[in-house]
Structure 1
């Protein structure tokens, strides 16, 4: 039996925050291949932002547990016009390469279909993250050709060490 994936609750915020930060920032994140530690300093998110997402009926953060240990999460939010957006995909660095990322993406797509009526899922990925973009492409996501600016002056999303932008990926989930 694998990890249990369920919607996060306010009680999960401390574990969720620690999980996300460990996957994306600082030296602990370097233990996994998905980190952004070389591109961004500062935080990836904060407890207030997580609480806001959990409380918003158009958002969900799905969290994966192995026993009572949070090992992964993904955010799903309604994006309008039959679309949902996937974000915040995080897997503990010491649990990467076990297939949990794929399971979380599938759970996010199931949630988007069931709760948002979505037929397409989109996401933004930092344009320089070639290995991560390739991973999403192997999951069936395609580059749309659209780019979006990175919030370079908003420390809630991190402190960029280099100029950054996003590319948009999407796929049908119908």
Structure 2
């Protein structure tokens, strides 16, 4: 790290050499994820569950429907369904006359986890608003929305159909 030195020898600010925007956003996102997971401690939830849970906020859906929306395999979603069922966050929803169709829906426990995560994110937003000031926070949010749109993610965010990151 380098520092900007005032002419009286006082350090005004520390800079992060070579830190590009994508790295800064990745680091920030990872830190936020960790804080949200701490708020969800004891729920059994992990980051990969959130993509399926977000999709279920739009209503009950089958593994095939969610796989199509998220651009992942039906087997991957089925695995997450099994985990979420065993944790009590989802349940089989009424499917009408088609007994072969098994849509899943969030349980009260699942909805409570969503509210817990949202509360953690609101606290983080408040912390960042305090650190940045309201104007800079609002400007940053506008820039992030524009960046999501520029990268073709805005519509997927609106539909709650963001593809999970590929795991190595």
- Is TM > 0.5 for Structure 1 vs Structure 2? no
Q: Which is strand-richer, 1 or 2?
A: 1
Q: Which is helix-richer, 1 or 2?
A: 2
TM-score, length basis structure 1: 0.27
Task: Please tell me whether Structure 1 or Structure 2 has the larger radius of gyration of its CA atoms.
Answer: 2
TM-score, length basis structure 2: 0.28
